[in-house]
Amino acid sequence: MRDLFEKNFERESLYTTAQELRKQDLFPYFRELQSRQDVEVIMEGKRRLMFGSNNYLGLTTNQEIIEAAHKALDEFGTGCSGSRLLNGTLVLHQVFEKEMAEFLRKGDVVTFSTGFQSNLGIISALVGMGDYVICDRENHASIYDGCKLSYGKMLRYRHADMEDLERQLQKVPENAGCLIVTDGVFSMGGDIAKLPEIVALAKKYGARTMVDDAHALGIIGEGGRGTASHFGLEKDVDIYMGTFSKTLASLGGYMAADAKVCDFVRCNSRPYIFSASVTPVSIAVATASLRHLRSHPEIVDNLQNISQYMRDGLKARGIKIIEAKTPIIPIYTYDPIVTLTAQKALYERGVYVNATLPPACAPGECLLRCSLMATHTKELVDEAVEIIADVLHGLNL
Residues belonging to the active site:
187, 215, 246
CA-to-CA separations, 44 to 32, 35, 347, in angstroms, rounded? 6, 10, 10
Question: What is the Cα–Cα distance from 362 to 357, expressed in whole angstroms?
Answer: 8
Answer for the pair 246, 214: CB distance below 8 angstroms, yes or no: yes
What is the separation of C-alpha 155 from the centre of its chain, rounded to a whole number of angstroms? 22
Question: What is the Cα–Cα distance from 59 to 282, expressed in whole angstroms?
Answer: 13
DSSP 8-state assignment for residue 360: S
DSSP 8-state assignment for residue 395: T
Q: Which of 140, 155, 113, 144 is closest to 274 using CA atoms?
A: 113
Question: What is the Cα–Cα distance from 198 to 278, expressed in whole angstroms?
Answer: 32
Answer for the pair 251, 257: CB distance below 8 angstroms, yes or no: no
Residues near 30 by beta carbon (within 8 Å), at least 6 away in sequence: none
Q: What is the DSSP string of 204-237?
A: HHT-EEEEE-TTTTTTSSGGG--HHHHTT-TTT-
Maximum CA pair distance of the chain? 62
Q: What is the DSSP string of 74-88?
A: HHH-S---SBTTTT-
Strands lying side by side in the sheet with 354-356: 328-334, 366-371, 354-356
